């Protein structure tokens, strides 16, 4: 069933208030942020480029931040955390190696289509595991403002690999 943009006989006003005032949904409803409209004027960590798509300043988001992260081939970020925020990283292209812990003593890898969850206050570092391919990710955080606290950590030389363990993968997954 296709819809054209002509008037199709019913109102889209807010129900119940009895007024004829048109809702502000035209400009305050769904927003599409084009790939060429991302804002690099956001909290940055050395070694990566963050660009905001959805945040409080851009669209009035109250409870989340979303944008992109790019890490150049064979590069890594400085150690950092995101304060009280939860983060979800979705790998679009490339291979991500995460290190985390007080001395970045734990490590795990993720590839295209994988999701990474970073809890609040966890010191971590993103590493592009490829020497030739750019790592491209989508990032979502649990607040409309960006928080990035850069840390001065001396990492352990050989981190411990950690398999993903949860109730459906009790012996660990990759």
Identify the pLDDT of residue 21: 60
Identify the pLDDT of residue 19: 52
Say if residue 42's pLDDT is above 60. yes
User: How many Cβ atoms sit within 10 Å of the Cβ of residue 15?
Assistant: 6
Q: How far apart are CA 129 and CA 2, in angstroms?
A: 45
Of 7-11, 55-59, 147-151, least confident by mean pLDDT is: 7-11
The pTM for the full model equals 0.76
Pick from 120, 9, 8, 141: nearest CA to 68: 141
Rounded percentage of the chain residues whose pLDDT exceeds 70: 82
Distance of CA 51 to the CA centre of its chain: 10
**List of residues 6+ apart from 98 with CB closer than 8 A:** 107, 108, 109, 110, 116, 118, 124, 125, 126, 127
Q: How far apart are CA 124 and CA 104, in angstroms?
A: 6
Identify the pLDDT of residue 160: 85
Identify the pLDDT of residue 84: 94
Say if residue 156's pLDDT is above 60. yes
Q: At 68, give phi and psi (nearest 5°).
A: -115, 155
Identify the pLDDT of residue 80: 92
Q: What is the mean pLDDT of the chain?
A: 84
In angstroms, what is the C-alpha Rg of the chain? Answer: 20
Rounded percentage of the chain residues whose pLDDT exceeds 90: 49
């Amino acid at each position: 069933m296709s819809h054209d943009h002509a008037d199709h006989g019913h109102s889209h006003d807010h129900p119940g208030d009895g007024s004829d005032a048109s809702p502000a949904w035209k400009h305050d409803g769904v927003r599409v942020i084009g790939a060429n409209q991302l804002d690099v004027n956001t909290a940055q960590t050395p070694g990566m480029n963050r660009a905001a798509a959805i945040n409080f300043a851009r669209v009035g988001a109250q409870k989340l931040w979303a944008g992109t992260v790019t890490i150049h081939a064979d590069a890594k970020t400085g150690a950092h955390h995101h304060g009280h925020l939860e983060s979800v990283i979705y790998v679009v292209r490339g291979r991500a190696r995460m290190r985390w812990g007080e001395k970045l003593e734990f490590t795990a890898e993720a590839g295209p289509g994988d999701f990474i969850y970073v809890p609040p206050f966890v010191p971590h570092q993103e590493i592009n595991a490829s020497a030739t391919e750019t790592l491209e990710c989508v990032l979502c955080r649990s607040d409309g403002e960006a928080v990035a606290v850069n840390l001065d950590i001396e990492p352990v030389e050989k981190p411990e690999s950690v398999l993903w363990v949860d109730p459906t993968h009790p012996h660990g997954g990759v």
